[in-house]
Amino acid sequence: MARLYHIGFGPEDLGSPPPTLALLSGDPHRAAQIAHTRLTQVRALSENRGLNSYLGLLPNGRPVLSATSGMGAPSLSIVVNELVQVGIRTIIRVGTCGSIQESLTLGSVAISKAALCRQGAANDIAPPEYPASADPFLTVALVEAAQRLGIPYALGITASVDTFYEGQERTDSANPHLLRFLQGITEEYRRLGVINYEMEAGTLFKMGNVYGFAAACICGVIAQRTKAEKPILEAKDQAVQRAVEVALAVAERFA
């Protein structure tokens, strides 16, 4: 197989034994940081289109990818499709999110067991009523790792939406005039027990179930939507590092 168009590498670039697990970050800087600070024998596979991908070894010597999905479900759907084509069979999304529950605090991590999936890309994978559910074994492993590491977490249902501003009911933006169905939607989701907003997990989960790979998601909490709309940058480093710690602990078990 030749190198794939978007991710910029193919199976022949992955060595032997090839990795079967990918840690997937929306931010190319996070993908690079995971690779260069947490893996050994790191090799850049591609920085094509900003979709940076790195191959390295976990502490147990197993190979793993640290890859970039880009922002949002359309970009993620392309990257994930091509990762599966090159042999990846387990994907853990390591992202950031906004909490909509007071008990899920800044700097903690949210582990998604399923998603309320309001994403157009996902509808091209499976119909809207198809469940967007995470792999249960990976998800339980994330919970166990967070407990073992003493990292504060919540397990619950994530709202995966296509837009950062309107779709997450933000009015402090260039467009303060939300459509009627979005006005009050955060409180509605809160009453339904949804714990957080993010922009990729629902499509990832549907792809996992349709394509036949294991998918999970852990996000550092960088916004507390019960108090303010904007992310708190001072909380980001701790939140992301905690999510990375948990994801890496699980990767060592499943890679």
Does 36 participate in catalysis according to the annotation? Answer: no
Is position 1 within any domain?
no
Query: Residue 197: which pLDDT band, with cuts at 50, 70 and 90?
Result: very high
The enclosing domain of 141 has a CATH number of 3.40.50.1580
Given 30, 93, 118, 170, which residue is catalytic?
Answer: 170
Is position 81 within any domain?
yes
Query: Residue 61: which pLDDT band, with cuts at 50, 70 and 90?
Result: very high
Is position 116 within any domain?
yes
| Rounded average pLDDT over 83-92 | 98
Is position 217 within any domain?
yes
Please check the confidence at residue 236 and state whether its pLDDT lies above 90.
yes
Given 82, 169, 198, 200, which residue is catalytic?
Answer: 82
> What is the chain's mean pLDDT, rounded?
97
What CA–CA distance (Å, rounded) separates 202 from 188?
A: 18
Query: Residue 2: which pLDDT band, with cuts at 50, 70 and 90?
Result: confident
Please check the confidence at residue 118 and state whether its pLDDT lies above 80.
yes
Q: pLDDT over 90 for what percent of the chain?
A: 98
Please check the confidence at residue 200 and state whether its pLDDT lies above 90.
yes
Q: Give 207-228 pLDDT, tens digit per residue.
A: 999 999 999 999 999 999 999 9
Query: Residue 189: which pLDDT band, with cuts at 50, 70 and 90?
Result: very high
Please check the confidence at residue 166 and state whether its pLDDT lies above 80.
yes
Secondary structure (3-state) at 77: helix
Does 170 participate in catalysis according to the annotation? Answer: yes
pLDDT of residue 48: 87
Does 43 participate in catalysis according to the annotation? Answer: no
Is position 2 within any domain?
no
pLDDT of residue 128: 97
**Residues 11 and 18: beta-carbon distance below 8 Å:** yes
| Structural domains in the chain (count) | 1
Q: List CB contacts of 191: < 8 A, sequence separation 6 or more.
A: none
Is position 154 within any domain?
yes
**Residues 56 and 63: beta-carbon distance below 8 Å:** yes
Q: CA nearest 245: which of 143, 149, 111, 137?
A: 149
Which structural domain, as residue segments, surrounds residue 191? Answer: 11-254
Given 30, 38, 93, 225, which residue is catalytic?
Answer: 225
**Residues 219 and 110: beta-carbon distance below 8 Å:** yes
Is position 4 within any domain?
no
pTM over 0.75: yes
Which amino acid, one-letter code, is at 2? A
Does 6 participate in catalysis according to the annotation? Answer: yes
Is position 3 within any domain?
no
Please check the confidence at residue 109 and state whether its pLDDT lies above 90.
yes
